[in-house]
């Protein structure tokens, strides 16, 4: 297939060449914060993960799209990422589940892509200089360069309000009722909860009083995009509900819970994006291989209460906290694993165990 030539420019001036694929925006370029993901598979789940809102995903795996796409693998109703960068895009997918190819999927959802890029060099640049805003496109290279210079990262941005559900909905029919605050919740996360509970998923703007009116047995805080420090209103809701019902948070939900426990967050140089991060459970010594997708983390020793329960063995970043007095715990990584290993799915059972005495108390 003949493709238009394209250029990728980062905010620091680094330039990469390739070809345009997927959606071709009328402006001739797209902008966002460039991050890299090291997963070997699961590209559709990654692209449709709402946590990538505002970001452009650089895939380190050299072959992307080789098993096609299927609606069964969507993590949301549409992709929220600003674009994708690929070394080699497969045009002839081979898989019995495939209902189309990735290029068609990207065009349908109006997601710009750039292929033929030296993604190894791009990844090494982002590792050395951190996640950077920038632009890529098939338009005038000078216009792409200007767009890159003014592109925004995710710092201080509330991206949650763009991805959250607009209306509440319910999944599952268990005896135990969970309210899940949707900061950008993944479909696999909802499925894992619905297998165990009756789940009411509510918008991120839901107030503490509105949550209480639903009479939940437990509260779940989902993953999501953007800077947790920009979500003061959501933190105040968590603070108000903390200790009233058992609470479980994942990823952004973990960061918001930690702020409610008196902690602070900071931006990692290039984040954790992949499906092979080793985590240590400090209570048991067990090592788990986990899926991760976040650019922010909790500042060490910043918690006013609670304890650190898990750490990342690559860089020592806090990956989990718990506060028994508040009946809550959270993890930075993704135990629902869509995609990724299932080592940590037991955490949903841990949450269920917390709820049993709570329901008897009611």
Do 87 and 152 touch, CB atoms closer than 8 A? no
> pTM here?
0.95
pLDDT value for 362: 28
pLDDT score at 120? 98
Catalytic residues: 251, 334, 336
Q: Give the per-residue SS3 of 63-104.
A: EECCCCCCHHHCCCCCCCCCEEEECEECCCCCCCCCCCCHHH
Closest CA to 49 of 35, 63, 68, 61: 35
Q: For residues 183 and 138, what is the distance between their CA atoms, to the nearest angstrom? A: 33
Q: What angle do CA 284, 228, 30 make, to 5 degrees?
A: 120
Q: Cβ-count burial of 307 within 10 angstroms (0-12 exposed, 13-18 middle, 19+ buried)?
A: middle
Which pair of tokens denotes residue 353? 């165990």
pLDDT for res 361 = 36
pLDDT score, position 360? 44
Distance CA(188)–CA(171), nearest Å, equals 12
Secondary structure class of 222 (helix, strand, coil)? coil
Q: Give the model confidence (pLDDT) of 305-359 as tens digits.
A: 999 999 999 999 999 999 999 999 999 999 999 899 899 999 999 999 999 865 4
What is the full DSSP assignment across 292-354?
EEEEEEEPTT--SSSEEEEEETTT--EEEEEEGGGTEEEESSBTT-SSS--TTTHHHHHHHHH
Which residues, given as ranges, of the chain have pLDDT below 50?
359-362
Helix boundaries (H) for the chain: 43-47, 102-108, 119-129, 141-150, 160-163, 187-194, 208-213, 232-241, 252-260, 346-361
Instruction: Note the pLDDT of residue 356.
Output: 83
β-pairing, 198-203 with 247-250?
Answer: unpaired
Taken in order of first residue, the domains within the chain and their CATH numbers are 5-150 (3.50.30.20), 160-361 (3.40.50.880)
pLDDT at 357: 66
Q: Which residues of 184-212 are buried (b: 16+ CB within 10 A; e: fewer)?
A: bbbbbbbebbbebbbbbbbbbebeeeebe
DSSP tag of 229: G
Residue 237 pLDDT:
98
Q: What is the pLDDT of residue 302?
A: 97
């Amino acid at each position: 297939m003949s493709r238009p030539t394209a250029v990728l420019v980062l905010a620091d001036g680094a330039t990469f060449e390739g070809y345009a694929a997927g959606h071709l925006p009328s402006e001739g370029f797209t902008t966002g914060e460039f991050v890299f993901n090291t997963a070997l598979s699961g590209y559709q789940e990654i692209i449709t993960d709402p946590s990538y809102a505002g970001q452009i995903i650089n895939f380190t795996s050299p072959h992307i799209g080789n098993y096609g796409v299927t609606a069964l693998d969507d993590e949301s109703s549409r992709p929220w990422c600003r674009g994708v960068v690929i070394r080699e895009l497969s045009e002839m997918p081979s898989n019995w589940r495939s209902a189309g190819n990735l290029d068609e999927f990207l065009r349908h959802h109006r997601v710009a892509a750039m292929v033929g890029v030296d993604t190894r060099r791009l990844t090494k640049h982002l590792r050395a200089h951190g996640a950077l805003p920038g632009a890529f496109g098939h338009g005038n290279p000078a216009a792409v360069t200007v767009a890159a210079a003014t592109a925004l990262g995710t710092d201080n941005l509330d991206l949650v309000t763009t991805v959250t559900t607009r209306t509440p909905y319910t999944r599952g029919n268990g005896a135990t009722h969970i309210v899940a605050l949707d900061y950008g919740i993944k479909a696999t996360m909802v499925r894992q909860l619905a297998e165990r509970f009756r789940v009411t998923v509510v918008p991120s703007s839901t107030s503490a009083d509105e949550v209480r009116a639903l009479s939940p047995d437990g509260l779940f805080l989902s993953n999501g995009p953007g800077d947790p420090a920009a979500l003061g209103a959501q933190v105040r809701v968590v603070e108000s509900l903390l200790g009233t019902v058992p609470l479980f948070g994942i990823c952004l939900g973990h960061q918001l819970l930690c702020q409610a426990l008196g902690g602070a967050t900071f931006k990692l140089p290039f984040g954790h994006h992949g499906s092979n991060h080793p985590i240590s459970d400090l209570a048991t010594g067990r090592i788990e291989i986990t899926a991760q997708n976040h650019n922010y983390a909790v500042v060490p020793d910043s918690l006013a209460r609670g304890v650190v329960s898990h750490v990342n063995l690559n860089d020592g970043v806090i990956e989990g906290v718990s506060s028994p007095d508040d009946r809550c715990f959270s993890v930075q990584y993704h135990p629902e694993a869509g995609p990724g290993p299932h080592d940590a799915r037991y955490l949903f059972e841990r949450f269920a165990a917390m709820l049993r005495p709570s329901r008897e108390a009611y």
